[in-house]
Structure 1
C-alpha cells in the first residue's frame, strides 16, 4: 500500500483514525471500537491486491504465531478479519510509538534504563525460544512502547518469523540488512542464533544512547558498502568511549561474534548478569520481595545482623522492580514508603556489620602476619597474603571498589593454595584467613548494592518521564 493521504479503509465495529505507519503491503491505523467500551486498538490493514504467494505465507505465519503466543512483552493480537479488499489484524495500541523514534528523541539513555529495556526484550525472546520460534527481523522499528507511565516494550511485526528447524538448503534473506547476521548474507544457512546477533546490533547502536557508540557496527552509506563490511572477517571493535559496565561490554562481545558457533548461546544470554531476568520488573517481583523481607525481619529480630542485611539486600533487589511494575498510584506510594523503611534499616545494619567485620579483620592482622612467616617457602601463598593486606589497607581508607577487587584477587589465589595445602597448623590458619576475607568481600558487595538502590528507583521513575517527553515530541 502506498503511503498516500487518502481515507482509511472501512472496518465493521471500528472507527479508523490516525495513520501510525505504512509499508509496501500494509498501513497501520489507530482505531476505536464503535460499541460498548470505546477500546483503543491498532489495525494493520493489508491490501490483498499487493500480496504475492510469499506475502500470503508470511501473513498467515504472523497470524498463527501471534494467536499462539501470549506474553506481556509481545504485541497482543486481539482479532483478525477480512473483506473483499483487505485483511485486518487488530492488535493492542502502543501510544509510546516505536523504540527507534524514542531513542532519536532522547539521544542519551542511562545504562540502567537500557538494561530495563533489554530485560523486557530478552523475556519476550525467551518465550519465543521455548516455542522454537525465531523473529528474524529484530530492529528498533519493530519494538513498540506500550504506554507512557509504565513503558513496556512490545515485540511486534512477526511477518518474517518462523518455526526454526535445521535446514540443508540455502534459505531466503529475511529482515533488515543493518541488523542481519553475517551468516544470513554470507552463506544463506542460518538458524535462531541470527536473532542474538540482531539483539547485539540493537544494543550496540540504540539501547545505550543512540546508543553506546552513536552508530551501528556496520553503518554504511550504501548497500554494497554494508555487504562488504558484513562479509569482512574483521573483528568488531567496541569503542572505549563512552564507558559502559564490564557486564554490558561482555554481553556485547558475546552477541557480536561473526561465527554463530562462537556467539553466546540463548541459555547463556538469558542467564547473563547484564540481562538479569531474575530481577526484572514483573508480576512476581513483589511476592519474591515480600518473602525475603519476612526472613530478613526474623533474622533482624534475633540479632543475626549479617544474615538480616543479606536478606534485606536480596529483598530490595526485587522491591525496586516491583515499584516500577506497580500501576496503582496509592499502592505504589505505600510500597515506596515501605521500600524506604527497608533501605533505612539496611543502612543501619550496614554500619553494625561493617564495624564488626572491620574489627575482626583488624584483629586478624597479627594472624595474617604470622601466616606470612609460615609461608616463606611458598612464594605464591605469600604473594596472595600480601594482596589481602593491601585490600585491608584500601578498605580502611574507605576505597570500597579497590578493596573489593583486591579481596577477590587474593581469595582466588588463597582458595587454590588451600586445596593443595596438607593438614596442619598452616592449613588451619589459611582456612581462617579465607573465611575472614570472604566475609568482608561479601559485605562490600552488599555495601555497593545499597548505594545503588535509591538511584535504581529514581531511574525507574526517570524511564516513565523519558517516554512521556518522547511522546510529546512525536
Structure 2
C-alpha cells in the first residue's frame, strides 16, 4: 500500500479512478474492487499529515459510528485501511452523489422534494456528542456551524438542528443563509445578532417557513427541540416513503370505495384524500418501474373519482351554508353588543367569499381558522340561550367547511406531486449522510 503523487493513491485490492470530491481533510475517489465481483465503492482518503488532534478524534468517531450502522439513508462503511501516508475509508458508492451535489446540479429544490430529504435525516450521531465536549474544538464546515460553535461557547447536539436549517435553506433558496466571500465575512455574519430573514421567493408553505425560522434560531435555548422537529407538521414523518406506504394507502382506499358504493360521498371523499397522502410516498419508495406505473395509474383513477365527489360534496355544503343564511343574519342582529362576535362573523363571511375565487382555497382556509379560533372562545363564554344555540350551529357549519377545504388542498397537492414525480426514485438516486460536515 502506498501512494502519493498527482494521481489517485494506490491501495491493495482496489483500483482508484475519478475524484468524486474533496473536503477539509479528505479526498473521495470512485474505485473498483480487484476481486471477481468488481464491486464499485467510494474511497475516502485522509492524508495523515493534515490531521491535528481534533480531526483525528473526528475521524475515529466517524469510523466507530459508521461501523455499527446499517441504515438505508446513511452511507455504509464497508472497511478501512491505512498506510504511511493516508487513512482509507472504503464506503458504499452512491451513484447520485451526495445531497450537496444534488442541490447544486438543480440550483434549488421544490419544497416537496426538500421534504423527502428532511424525512430521511437520521440523528443517531447526536447521542455520541457529549454536552461537555471541548468547547474550542470546531467540528464540520463553517458554513453549517451553529453560532454557539463559532462564538466558542459550550455547545451540544442542538447544533445539528441549526445545520439542518442551513441545509434546508440552501435546498430551497439555492445558497446558504451566510453565503460569504471570505471566512472573516462568514464569521461576522454568524456572530451577528440579526434575525435571519427568509427570502420571499420562491413562495413556501406556512409550515415550511415556520420550521426554517425555528431551526435557524441563533439562541440554542430558543431553537426547536429534536422532539418538536420530528413532530413538526412539515416534516410529517407519518407520510414519509417506506415499505408500509402502499399497504396503508390500499387499506384507506378500500374504505373509501366501500363508502362510495354505499352512497356516503361525504365520508368517501376524505378517505380518498387520506389514501392519496400515502400513495404519493409509495410512489417515491417504489423502485420497480412497472409497479410504479401501475400505482400511478391507480392514483389517477382515485384522483378523478375524488374530483367528482368534490363537486357533489361542495354543492351539498354550499346548500347547507345557504340554508344557514337566515340563522346567520339573526345571529348578527343578536351580536350588536358583542363587537368581537361581529368581527369573527365578518371574517367567516370573507372566508366564504374567498372560497368562491379560483385558487384561493388556502386563503379561505386561513380565514375560516382565524374566525373559528375567535368563535370557539366566545362560544365557551356564552350563556345558555338562543344566541348560544345559533352560535353553536354556526361553529359546526364553519368547522365542516374548513375540514372540507383542508382535504381539497391536500388532494390538490397529492395530485400535483403524483403528476410531477420523476421516474427515478429519489431514495435510490441520492442518500443523505447524517454527518453534517
Report the TM-score when normalising by structure 1: 0.82
- The equivalent position to 1:460 in structure 2, one of 400, 421, 424, is 421
- The equivalent position to 2:290 in structure 1, one of 317, 330, 333, is 330
Tell me what 2:355 maps to: 395
Tell me what 1:405 maps to: 366
State the alpha-carbon separation in 2 of the partners of residues 197 and 7 from structure 1: 35
Farther off after superposition, 2-11 or 303-312: 2-11
Closer/same/farther in 2, CA of residues 382 and 31 from structure 1, 3 Å limit: same
CA contact (8 A) 1:31 1:42 kept: yes
Q: CA deviation at 1:34?
A: 3.3
State the alpha-carbon separation in 2 of the partners of residues 318 and 460 from structure 1: 14
Closer/same/farther in 2, CA of residues 389 and 50 from structure 1, 3 Å limit: closer
The reply to whether residue 98 of structure 1 matches residue 98 of structure 2 is yes
Q: Which has the higher contact order (CA 8 A, sep 6+)?
A: 2
Unaligned runs of 5+ in 2: 430-437
Closer/same/farther in 2, CA of residues 56 and 390 from structure 1, 3 Å limit: closer
Closer/same/farther in 2, CA of residues 450 and 120 from structure 1, 3 Å limit: same
Closer/same/farther in 2, CA of residues 167 and 17 from structure 1, 3 Å limit: same
Residues 307-354 of structure 1 deviation map (CA, whole Å, 9 limit, x = unaligned): 211111111011011112111111111111111111111111111111
Tell me what 1:30 maps to: 30
Alignment of 1:162-241 (within 5 A): 163-167=128-132, 170-204=135-169, 206-210=170-174, 215-241=175-201
State the alpha-carbon separation in 2 of the partners of residues 218 and 164 from structure 1: 25
Alignment of 1:34-73 (within 5 A): 34-48=34-48, 51=51, 53-73=53-73
Q: CA deviation at 1:443?
A: 0.9
Farther off after superposition, 304-313 or 421-430: 421-430
Tell me what 2:398 maps to: 437
State the alpha-carbon separation in 1 of the partners of residues 214 and 424 from structure 2: 27
RMSD across aligned positions (CA): 2.7
Alignment of 1:285-304 (within 5 A): 285-304=245-264
State the alpha-carbon separation in 2 of the partners of residues 230 and 29 from structure 1: 32
Q: CA deviation at 1:24?
A: 6.3
State the alpha-carbon separation in 1 of the partners of residues 184 and 63 from structure 2: 34
CA contact (8 A) 2:130 2:156 kept: yes
Unaligned runs of 5+ in 1: 135-161, 469-474
State the alpha-carbon separation in 2 of the partners of residues 103 and 4 from structure 1: 32
Tell me what 1:244 maps to: 204
Closer/same/farther in 2, CA of residues 172 and 221 from structure 1, 3 Å limit: same
Farther off after superposition, 352-361 or 34-43: 34-43
User: SS of the residue aligned with 2:324?
Assistant: helix
Alignment of 1:16-27 (within 5 A): 16-22=16-22, 25-27=25-27
CA contact (8 A) 1:28 1:42 kept: yes
State the alpha-carbon separation in 2 of the partners of residues 220 and 396 from structure 1: 46
Closer/same/farther in 2, CA of residues 322 and 163 from structure 1, 3 Å limit: same
Residues 176-201 of structure 1 deviation map (CA, whole Å, 9 limit, x = unaligned): 22211111121331001111111222
Report the TM-score when normalising by structure 2: 0.89
The reply to whether residue 254 of structure 1 matches residue 214 of structure 2 is yes
